[in-house]
Amino acid sequence: MQVNIILLAAGKGQRFQSSSPNKIGCVTIKQLAQIQGKPLITHSVDKLQPLLKNAYVDNLFVTLGANKNAIQAILPQGVSVIASQHWSDGMGHTLAESVHSIKATSTHILVALADQALITSEHYQELLSASKEQPNKIIATLCDEKLMAPAIFPEKYFPLLVKLQGDKGAGKLLLQHAKKTDAITCKEAKIDIDTLSDLENVRQQIEHPSQEQLQSSL
């Protein structure tokens, strides 16, 4: 088993930009928005890097597109970058490019999204452990009865992933192959950062976690 991780962070974040006040000092690049003194993209990378301790996990790739140079400049060491040439065509194109870039050295690919800031390293590890036990199945995240990323795809699905187009990412494939998918529940997966209001919500949850969140982290 040879797993590579793709963290998708190529979008321009137009909804985030349009929701941000036009004033000096306001960060309008979503991936660089600050949470507890760290950029959003750094939070996502920090949650994924512990997975590299697994002998069967090779590399963490961050796919960049819009604002590539500014985001790449703050990425920690040990992170590889995939430069999307068609990021403006939608997440489907970006994911297809990313999978094409690394499929030759992978038996499985973990697809994660940079704006799902509340997903923990523990959930990612659960996905990996489940995939190791059932290597021929897709292992996805279940939230509100919906299959979604983060998800792990075995190599037999790579030909389908590289054909994705437009705004539809891995979710379309998960829906089509739901009967061949196992899932692990994660309530935090429903919270992604699309607007400034979403960012404030995530900041509040991280800085002032609920009792339920505190217990789940023990």
Encode pLDDT of 103-140 as tens digits. Answer: 999 999 999 999 998 999 999 999 999 999 999 999 99
CATH class of 3-216: alpha beta
Average pLDDT, the chain: 89
Tokens (6 digits) for 185: 């529940």
* Beta strands 146-154 and 108-113, pairing class: antiparallel
Residue 92's nearest CA partner among 37, 24, 162 is: 162
Token pair 């963290």: residue = 7
Residue 184's nearest CA partner among 150, 210, 157, 215 is: 150
Encode pLDDT of 57-112 as tens digits. Answer: 999 999 999 999 999 999 988 899 999 999 999 999 999 999 999 999 999 999 99
Q: Taking residues 170-176, what's their average pLDDT?
A: 90
Residue 93's nearest CA partner among 114, 65, 118, 115 is: 65
